[in-house]
Chains A and B, each alone.
Chain A
């Protein structure tokens, strides 16, 4: 089963 990525791995907190 593919693993779900987390959005914060791609977008930086500002």
Chain B
């Protein structure tokens, strides 16, 4: 059986908020190392890969592999009944028809319990190769969100270019063009504001802003975001969570002019 207790319901609420635009139904794969999820959007352009390590829960128990097939819209409806600060416990039997969610408020005088029906989801699983990315950019997640939003007003696509000058986000549309350049920046007192650029070779790739905007819904999960790029491979956008848990998005590049 599965029993996984989260100190704050906010984590699961934010995870669901972050992925439900991309994916409507998916399996939460539970095993003794934690709860994972991998799903592609309908158009097979973007993929979300999330893993909440067992250390992110206290306690965590999962005796055997269990796939919880969940409709994220339905899960979100149930999670709306949880306050951000509530303690959230997920429970399921070994071959479950439902997942049980319990929300306890901080003063433990209110306990809400919901059963969410599960579904059989036959999901394609992609092997993501380990990649030595040519460029890795870490920046405040709010900054990435702002760049994505601002450029979305101009164009459907953005070209992310990384060279020894730094990183630039450029787009061109009917009304004109825009370009945002970021340079390395270190703030010892506020490391969340740092911009770090590590590059082994120059990279320039074009991506659909619509999907980047979707990824940015995860901004509330982490103060920093990491963009990993290599020429001619999908972009990885990673939001690191506590205890080595993570939510990663992959986006296939656009090609040609």
Structural contact, B124 and A2, CB atoms closer than 8 A:
no
Which residues of B are found within 8 Å of A3, using beta-carbon distances? 254-256
Chain A residues proximal to chain B, CB less than 8 Å = 2-14
Q: Mark B197-218, 1 if CB is under 8 A from A, else 0.
A: 0000000001010000000000
Interface residues of B in 2-55 (CB under 8 A from A): 40, 44-47
Which residues of B are found within 8 Å of A9, using beta-carbon distances? 252
Structural contact, A7 and B254, CB atoms closer than 8 A:
no
Given contacts A3-B254, A4-B208, A6-B44, list 19 more A-B pairs with CB under 8 A: A2-B256, A2-B257, A5-B45, A5-B254, A6-B45, A7-B46, A7-B126, A7-B234, A7-B252, A9-B252, A11-B47, A11-B127, A11-B129, A11-B234, A11-B250, A12-B126, A12-B127, A13-B125, A14-B127
Chain B residues proximal to chain A, CB less than 8 Å = 40, 44-47, 124-129, 157, 206, 208, 233-234, 250, 252-257
Nearest neighbor of A4 in chain B, beta-carbon distance: B254
Nearest neighbor of B254 in chain A, beta-carbon distance: A2
Which residues of B are found within 8 Å of A12, using beta-carbon distances? 126-127
How far is it, in angstroms, between the C-alpha of A7 and the C-alpha of B257 when the chains are bound?
A: 19
Structural contact, B126 and A6, CB atoms closer than 8 A:
no
Nearest neighbor of A9 in chain B, beta-carbon distance: B252
How far is it, in angstroms, between the C-alpha of A14 and the C-alpha of B49 when the chains are bound?
A: 15
Structural contact, B128 and A5, CB atoms closer than 8 A:
no
Least distance between A7 CB and chain B CB atoms (Å): 5
Which residues of B are found within 8 Å of A7, using beta-carbon distances? 40, 44-47, 126, 234, 250, 252
Structural contact, B128 and A11, CB atoms closer than 8 A:
yes
How far is it, in angstroms, between the C-alpha of A6 and the C-alpha of B254 when the chains are bound?
A: 9
How far is it, in angstroms, between the C-alpha of A11 and the C-alpha of B254 when the chains are bound?
A: 16
